[in-house]
Amino acid sequence: MTDQRVDVAVIGGGVVGLATALAAASTGLRIVIFDANDSPAASESGRGIHDWDRRVTALTPASVKFLESLGVWQSILDTRRIGSYTDMIVWDAEGTGQIQFSASDLHIDALGHIVESSITTRALVHRTEAYPNVEIHWNTRLEGLSIREHDVALETSNGATIAAELVIGADGGRSKSRGLAQIRTREWRYHQNAIVATIKVNPGHDKACWQAFLPTGPLALLPLAEPDVCSIVWSLDEDLSQRWVDATDDDFLGGLNRALSDRGPRAIAVGARQVFPLVQCHAVDYSRGRFVLVGDAAHAIHPLAGQGINLGLSDAQVLGEEIVRVHQRRGEWWSSQTMKRYERQRKGENLSMMAMMQAFKWGFGSRNPALTMMRNWGLNSVDTLPMAKKWFVEQATGSS
């Protein structure tokens, strides 16, 4: 027996799931979002080293433009907790190669914005309140999913059975909905973990991102809204990562500064550390019948370029546009043809970015002297070629 019928059910109330729902909300379709977690807590107002989320995202200008179209960017700005960056400095720790990108190369104000994940999520949640046709059910897990000819049946942890015209899986890299829909994936395990933490630096970050390519993995310093506070993402081989998570603050800072090799600001204090495994995963198909994937549920990539969230937001934008366009024409917005059009538009870009990340990981992870020489030559060459630099900046900002 069906307890409830809806037009769209979104599995996952994170940034990408919420953005997808909002992108389609103007249709008036009844949209229900289910998330296994609690509703996001009230925002943190402190600005000390322990007051920032350990998970942050680097939003490109293209992603900001999309969030503006959803009516959420201004509320993110109003928190005054955005670390906009104008420069990016990248170097090879095994040699002399270095490249610096600047917003001035594209005649824009910023290359991107570092935002705490919870702030973006809360802004999106707040925006859903403006739509009477969108509702969110927190603390509600997906227990069953059956793709049928005319709808998709869902079973939830509260015992309800929902029938939806279309189901969108936005429940992350370990997507349960993807598994229940029997969509296969291809996975690459890096045998690495990423350590995330907030650090205090001296001198200040000067609105720059700093990224070192080390033999053990990339290290990134991301500027937060305070001039002397950064978030770090330090990718390390599995046998090294736990050692640095368990290290004393002094030992951790010592290792971090050695990795930076005096090319970036000096870390002088560190907050709590968190570790998570790095896996690259790509769904063989993004859709099956009336079920479709977005974000990390479709493609999870290495965080070294910070592009995962931006690819996910592009998914949300394209899928939302397809649903709105077909709905306005009174067409079958839920059809497999509509979902395949979305998939064709997104799969190429996502696969290209994944291949690029794999190439960076392989190229900078090698200790081969000849390859080290080629890396350094390549970085230094790009740094002196305006057109090549412009291309890399466009890829990083979503301006291509």
| CATH label of the domain that carries residue 209 | 3.50.50.60
- Mean pLDDT across 46-53: 90
**362: Cβ contacts below 8 Å, ≥ 6 apart:** none
Res 356: pLDDT? 62
Cβ(358)–Cβ(364) under 8 Å?
no
Res 239: pLDDT? 85
**368: Cβ contacts below 8 Å, ≥ 6 apart:** none
Taking the C-alpha atoms of residue 202 and residue 267, their distance in angstroms, rounded to an integer, is: 7
- Mean pLDDT across 108-132: 94
Task: Give the SS3 label for residue 229.
Answer: strand
- Mean pLDDT across 230-249: 91
pTM: 0.89
Query: Quick one: pLDDT band at residue 380, thresholds 50, 70, 90?
Result: very low
Polymer length of the chain:
400
Which has the minimum average pLDDT: 67-81, 252-266, 316-330, 340-354?
340-354
**Better-predicted residue by pLDDT, 48 or 253:** 253
Which has the minimum average pLDDT: 6-15, 181-190, 302-311?
302-311
Cβ(65)–Cβ(128) under 8 Å?
no
Res 398: pLDDT? 59
- Output the CA–CA distances (angstroms, integers) from residue 158 to 49, 155, 378, in the order listed: 39, 8, 56
- Mean pLDDT across 304-310: 74
Res 46: pLDDT? 86
**277: Cβ contacts below 8 Å, ≥ 6 apart:** 192, 193, 194, 238
Q: Is a pLDDT exceeding 70 seen at residue 45?
A: yes
Identify the CA nearest to 6 among candidates 22, 37, 28, 23: 28
Q: Is a pLDDT exceeding 80 seen at residue 375?
A: no
- Mean pLDDT across 37-41: 88
Which ranges constitute the DSSP H helices of the chain?
Answer: 15-24, 61-70, 73-77, 117-128, 176-180, 238-246, 249-260, 308-328, 336-365, 369-384, 386-397
**167: Cβ contacts below 8 Å, ≥ 6 apart:** 8, 9, 10, 11, 145, 147, 152, 154, 177, 290, 291, 292
Q: Is a pLDDT exceeding 60 seen at residue 387?
A: no
Residue carrying structure tokens 């008036």: 28
**Better-predicted residue by pLDDT, 91 or 136:** 136
Q: Is a pLDDT exceeding 70 seen at residue 355?
A: no
Res 378: pLDDT? 45
Taking the C-alpha atoms of residue 3 and residue 124, their distance in angstroms, rounded to an integer, is: 27
**Better-predicted residue by pLDDT, 207 or 362:** 207
Say if residue 203 is preceded by a cis peptide, omega within 30 of 0: yes
The whole-chain average pLDDT of the chain stands at 87
- Mean pLDDT across 241-246: 90
- Mean pLDDT across 335-355: 87
**Better-predicted residue by pLDDT, 300 or 232:** 232
Show the domain range for 205.
4-397
Q: Is a pLDDT exceeding 60 seen at residue 377?
A: no
Taking the C-alpha atoms of residue 44 and residue 47, their distance in angstroms, rounded to an integer, is: 8
Total tally of structural domains belonging to the chain: 1
Q: Is a pLDDT exceeding 80 seen at residue 206?
A: yes
Res 251: pLDDT? 97
Q: Is a pLDDT exceeding 80 seen at residue 374?
A: no
Taking the C-alpha atoms of residue 247 and residue 204, their distance in angstroms, rounded to an integer, is: 25
Amino acid at position 212, single letter: A
**169: Cβ contacts below 8 Å, ≥ 6 apart:** 11, 12, 175, 177, 178, 181, 291, 292, 293, 294, 297, 298
| Beta carbons within 10 angstroms of residue 315's beta carbon | 31
Q: How far is CA 371 from the centre of its chain?
A: 30
Percent of the chain exceeding pLDDT 90 equals 65
Percent of the chain exceeding pLDDT 70 equals 85
Query: Quick one: pLDDT band at residue 354, thresholds 50, 70, 90?
Result: low
